[in-house]
Protein backbone atom coordinates (compact mmCIF):
# COMPACT_ATOMS: atom_id res chain seq x y z
CA UNK A 1 0.00 0.00 0.00
CA UNK A 2 3.05 2.27 0.08
CA UNK A 3 2.32 3.29 -3.52
CA UNK A 4 -1.15 4.57 -2.56
CA UNK A 5 0.20 6.42 0.45
CA UNK A 6 2.60 8.23 -1.87
CA UNK A 7 -0.24 8.95 -4.32
CA UNK A 8 -2.53 10.26 -1.57
CA UNK A 9 0.23 12.52 -0.27
CA UNK A 10 1.02 13.66 -3.80
CA UNK A 11 -2.61 14.53 -4.54
CA UNK A 12 -2.88 16.34 -1.21
CA UNK A 13 0.21 18.44 -1.94
CA UNK A 14 -1.00 19.13 -5.49
CA UNK A 15 -4.44 20.15 -4.19
CA UNK A 16 -2.89 22.56 -1.69
CA UNK A 17 -0.57 24.03 -4.32
CA UNK A 18 -3.33 24.53 -6.89
CA UNK A 19 -5.69 26.04 -4.31
CA UNK A 20 -2.99 28.43 -3.13
CA UNK A 21 -2.11 29.34 -6.71
CA UNK A 22 -5.76 29.97 -7.54
CA UNK A 23 -6.26 32.27 -4.56
CA UNK A 24 -3.09 34.21 -5.40
CA UNK A 25 -4.14 34.60 -9.02
CA UNK A 26 -7.59 35.88 -8.10
CA UNK A 27 -6.14 38.21 -5.48
CA UNK A 28 -3.69 39.62 -8.03
CA UNK A 29 -6.18 40.01 -10.88
CA UNK A 30 -8.88 41.39 -8.59
CA UNK A 31 -6.66 44.35 -7.81
CA UNK A 32 -6.31 45.35 -11.47
CA UNK A 33 -9.24 47.49 -12.53
CA UNK A 34 -11.09 46.41 -15.67
CA UNK A 35 -10.77 49.04 -18.43
CA UNK A 36 -14.42 48.59 -19.37
CA UNK A 37 -15.24 49.68 -15.81
CA UNK A 38 -18.24 47.35 -15.43
CA UNK A 39 -19.03 45.09 -12.50
CA UNK A 40 -19.28 41.32 -12.44
CA UNK A 41 -23.05 41.69 -12.07
CA UNK A 42 -23.23 43.81 -15.21
CA UNK A 43 -21.03 41.34 -17.09
CA UNK A 44 -23.33 38.47 -16.07
CA UNK A 45 -26.52 40.31 -16.97
CA UNK A 46 -25.16 41.33 -20.37
CA UNK A 47 -23.95 37.82 -21.22
CA UNK A 48 -27.35 36.39 -20.29
CA UNK A 49 -29.13 38.95 -22.47
CA UNK A 50 -26.78 38.33 -25.38
CA UNK A 51 -27.65 34.63 -25.18
CA UNK A 52 -31.38 35.40 -25.04
CA UNK A 53 -31.71 34.15 -21.47
CA UNK A 54 -34.26 36.25 -19.59
CA UNK A 55 -35.40 33.91 -16.80
CA UNK A 56 -32.12 33.72 -14.86
CA UNK A 57 -31.45 36.11 -11.98
CA UNK A 58 -28.00 37.36 -10.98
CA UNK A 59 -27.65 37.57 -7.20
CA UNK A 60 -24.93 38.20 -4.62
CA UNK A 61 -23.95 35.52 -2.09
CA UNK A 62 -21.57 35.74 0.88
CA UNK A 63 -18.09 34.20 0.98
CA UNK A 64 -15.03 34.00 -1.25
CA UNK A 65 -14.95 31.86 -4.41
CA UNK A 66 -18.53 30.78 -3.63
CA UNK A 67 -19.70 31.61 -7.14
CA UNK A 68 -21.98 29.04 -8.79
CA UNK A 69 -24.97 28.58 -11.06
CA UNK A 70 -28.09 27.01 -9.55
CA UNK A 71 -30.07 25.29 -12.33
CA UNK A 72 -33.00 24.49 -10.03
CA UNK A 73 -33.56 28.12 -9.00
CA UNK A 74 -32.13 29.56 -12.20
CA UNK A 75 -29.80 31.96 -10.42
CA UNK A 76 -26.23 33.00 -11.14
CA UNK A 77 -24.80 33.32 -7.65
CA UNK A 78 -21.79 35.62 -7.45
CA UNK A 79 -19.64 36.20 -4.38
CA UNK A 80 -19.63 39.80 -3.17
CA UNK A 81 -16.14 40.45 -4.55
CA UNK A 82 -17.21 39.26 -8.00
CA UNK A 83 -20.68 40.81 -7.93
CA UNK A 84 -19.32 44.29 -7.19
CA UNK A 85 -15.84 43.79 -8.65
CA UNK A 86 -14.54 45.70 -11.67
CA UNK A 87 -11.60 43.48 -12.58
CA UNK A 88 -10.57 40.75 -15.00
CA UNK A 89 -11.04 38.17 -12.24
CA UNK A 90 -14.60 39.33 -11.54
CA UNK A 91 -15.46 39.40 -15.24
CA UNK A 92 -14.00 35.92 -15.81
CA UNK A 93 -15.91 34.33 -12.93
CA UNK A 94 -19.18 36.08 -13.76
CA UNK A 95 -18.96 35.04 -17.41
CA UNK A 96 -18.00 31.49 -16.45
CA UNK A 97 -21.07 31.07 -14.25
CA UNK A 98 -23.21 32.46 -17.06
CA UNK A 99 -21.57 29.84 -19.25
CA UNK A 100 -23.35 27.25 -17.08
CA UNK A 101 -26.63 29.10 -17.57
CA UNK A 102 -26.09 28.93 -21.34
CA UNK A 103 -25.35 25.21 -21.04
CA UNK A 104 -28.62 24.79 -19.15
CA UNK A 105 -30.59 26.80 -21.72
CA UNK A 106 -29.14 24.81 -24.62
CA UNK A 107 -29.51 21.40 -22.89
CA UNK A 108 -25.77 20.71 -22.85
CA UNK A 109 -25.59 16.93 -22.41
CA UNK A 110 -22.79 16.78 -19.84
CA UNK A 111 -24.51 19.35 -17.62
CA UNK A 112 -27.80 17.45 -17.80
CA UNK A 113 -26.02 14.20 -16.93
CA UNK A 114 -24.20 15.82 -14.01
CA UNK A 115 -27.41 17.40 -12.72
CA UNK A 116 -29.13 14.00 -12.84
CA UNK A 117 -26.21 12.51 -10.90
CA UNK A 118 -26.30 15.07 -8.07
CA UNK A 119 -28.79 13.21 -5.79
CA UNK A 120 -27.05 9.88 -6.46
CA UNK A 121 -23.65 11.42 -5.74
CA UNK A 122 -24.92 12.99 -2.50
CA UNK A 123 -26.36 9.70 -1.27
CA UNK A 124 -23.18 7.85 -2.24
CA UNK A 125 -21.03 10.35 -0.31
CA UNK A 126 -23.16 9.93 2.83
CA UNK A 127 -23.10 6.14 2.62
CA UNK A 128 -19.35 6.17 1.99
CA UNK A 129 -18.70 8.33 5.05
CA UNK A 130 -20.85 6.11 7.27
CA UNK A 131 -19.33 2.82 6.08
CA UNK A 132 -15.73 4.04 6.27
CA UNK A 133 -16.31 5.54 9.72
CA UNK A 134 -17.89 2.31 10.92
CA UNK A 135 -14.99 0.28 9.57
CA UNK A 136 -12.40 2.46 11.32
CA UNK A 137 -14.25 2.61 14.63
CA UNK A 138 -14.96 -1.11 14.66
CA UNK A 139 -11.92 -2.23 12.73
CA UNK A 140 -10.80 -4.99 15.09
CA UNK A 141 -14.33 -6.41 15.27
CA UNK A 142 -14.98 -6.24 11.53
CA UNK A 143 -11.69 -7.77 10.42
CA UNK A 144 -12.29 -10.65 12.80
CA UNK A 145 -15.58 -11.54 11.12
CA UNK A 146 -16.27 -13.68 8.10
CA UNK A 147 -14.68 -12.55 4.88
CA UNK A 148 -18.06 -12.23 3.18
CA UNK A 149 -19.08 -9.40 5.52
CA UNK A 150 -15.88 -7.47 4.86
CA UNK A 151 -16.11 -8.06 1.13
CA UNK A 152 -19.66 -6.69 1.11
CA UNK A 153 -18.53 -3.56 2.96
CA UNK A 154 -15.67 -3.10 0.50
CA UNK A 155 -17.99 -3.52 -2.48
CA UNK A 156 -20.29 -0.83 -1.06
CA UNK A 157 -17.31 1.51 -0.66
CA UNK A 158 -16.12 0.75 -4.21
CA UNK A 159 -19.60 1.36 -5.59
CA UNK A 160 -19.88 4.71 -3.80
CA UNK A 161 -16.40 5.75 -4.90
CA UNK A 162 -17.22 4.76 -8.48
CA UNK A 163 -20.24 7.12 -8.46
CA UNK A 164 -18.21 9.94 -6.92
CA UNK A 165 -15.39 9.40 -9.42
CA UNK A 166 -17.78 9.39 -12.37
CA UNK A 167 -19.34 12.60 -11.07
CA UNK A 168 -15.94 14.28 -10.79
CA UNK A 169 -14.99 13.17 -14.31
CA UNK A 170 -18.28 14.40 -15.81
CA UNK A 171 -17.70 17.73 -14.05
CA UNK A 172 -14.53 18.33 -16.07
CA UNK A 173 -16.11 18.88 -19.52
CA UNK A 174 -18.86 20.95 -17.87
CA UNK A 175 -16.35 23.31 -16.29
CA UNK A 176 -14.01 23.51 -19.27
CA UNK A 177 -16.91 24.18 -21.63
CA UNK A 178 -18.30 26.96 -19.38
CA UNK A 179 -14.89 28.65 -19.38
CA UNK A 180 -14.63 28.26 -23.16
CA UNK A 181 -18.03 29.92 -23.60
CA UNK A 182 -17.09 32.71 -21.18
CA UNK A 183 -13.80 33.53 -22.89
CA UNK A 184 -15.34 33.39 -26.36
CA UNK A 185 -18.04 35.83 -25.29
CA UNK A 186 -15.56 38.22 -23.67
CA UNK A 187 -13.46 38.19 -26.83
CA UNK A 188 -16.46 38.64 -29.15
CA UNK A 189 -17.70 41.61 -27.12
CA UNK A 190 -14.34 43.35 -27.47
CA UNK A 191 -14.58 44.56 -23.87
CA UNK A 192 -11.12 43.40 -22.80
CA UNK A 193 -7.64 44.38 -23.81
CA UNK A 194 -5.23 41.57 -24.73
CA UNK A 195 -3.71 41.76 -21.23
CA UNK A 196 -7.14 41.64 -19.55
CA UNK A 197 -8.20 38.71 -21.70
CA UNK A 198 -5.01 36.90 -20.73
CA UNK A 199 -5.74 37.54 -17.05
CA UNK A 200 -9.28 36.20 -17.38
CA UNK A 201 -8.03 33.11 -19.23
CA UNK A 202 -5.32 32.48 -16.65
CA UNK A 203 -7.74 32.84 -13.74
CA UNK A 204 -10.20 30.36 -15.26
CA UNK A 205 -7.38 27.94 -16.06
CA UNK A 206 -6.41 27.69 -12.40
CA UNK A 207 -10.04 27.42 -11.33
CA UNK A 208 -10.42 24.47 -13.70
CA UNK A 209 -7.30 22.85 -12.26
CA UNK A 210 -9.05 22.44 -8.90
CA UNK A 211 -11.56 20.14 -10.59
CA UNK A 212 -8.78 18.20 -12.29
CA UNK A 213 -7.07 17.59 -8.95
CA UNK A 214 -10.40 16.56 -7.37
CA UNK A 215 -10.91 14.02 -10.16
CA UNK A 216 -7.39 12.65 -9.64
CA UNK A 217 -8.09 12.29 -5.92
CA UNK A 218 -11.29 10.37 -6.63
CA UNK A 219 -9.52 8.04 -9.05
CA UNK A 220 -6.73 7.31 -6.54
CA UNK A 221 -9.31 6.64 -3.82
CA UNK A 222 -11.26 4.27 -6.05
CA UNK A 223 -8.13 2.36 -7.07
CA UNK A 224 -7.05 2.12 -3.43
CA UNK A 225 -10.27 0.41 -2.32
CA UNK A 226 -10.31 -1.83 -5.38
CA UNK A 227 -6.77 -2.95 -4.54
CA UNK A 228 -7.82 -3.77 -0.96
CA UNK A 229 -10.77 -5.80 -2.23
CA UNK A 230 -8.69 -7.72 -4.78
CA UNK A 231 -5.88 -8.20 -2.25
CA UNK A 232 -8.31 -9.76 0.22
CA UNK A 233 -9.40 -12.30 -2.36
CA UNK A 234 -5.88 -13.56 -3.08
pLDDT digits (tens, 9 = 90+) for 43-80: 999 999 999 999 999 999 999 889 999 999 999 999 99
Q: What DSSP string runs through 47-116?
A: HHHHTT--S-EEEEESSSS--EEETTTTEEEEEHHHHH--BHHHHHHHHHHHHHHHHHHTT-HHHHHHHH
Residue 145: is its pLDDT beyond 80? no
Query: Which pLDDT tens digit goes with each residue over 158-180?
Result: 999 999 999 999 999 999 999 99
How many Å apart are CA 135 and CA 137, to the nearest integer?
6
Q: Is the Cβ–Cβ distance between 181 and 99 less than 8 Å?
A: yes
- Catalytic site includes residue 42: no
Q: What is the pLDDT of residue 5?
A: 87
CA distance 193 to 189: 11
From the candidates 42, 45, 57, 97, give the one annotated as an active-site residue: 97
pLDDT, mean over the chain: 90
Q: How confident is the model at residue 34 (pLDDT cuts 50, 70, 90)?
A: confident
Q: Is the pTM of this model over 0.85?
A: yes
What is the C-alpha to C-alpha distance for residues 55 and 36, in angstroms, rounded to an integer? 26
Amino acid sequence: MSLYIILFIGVGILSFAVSRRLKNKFRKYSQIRWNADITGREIAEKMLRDNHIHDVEVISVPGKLTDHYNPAKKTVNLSEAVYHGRSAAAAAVAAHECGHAVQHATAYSFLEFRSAMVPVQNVSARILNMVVLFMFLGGAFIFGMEGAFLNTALLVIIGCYAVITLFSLVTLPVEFDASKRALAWIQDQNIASPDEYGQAKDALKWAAMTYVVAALGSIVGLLYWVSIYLGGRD
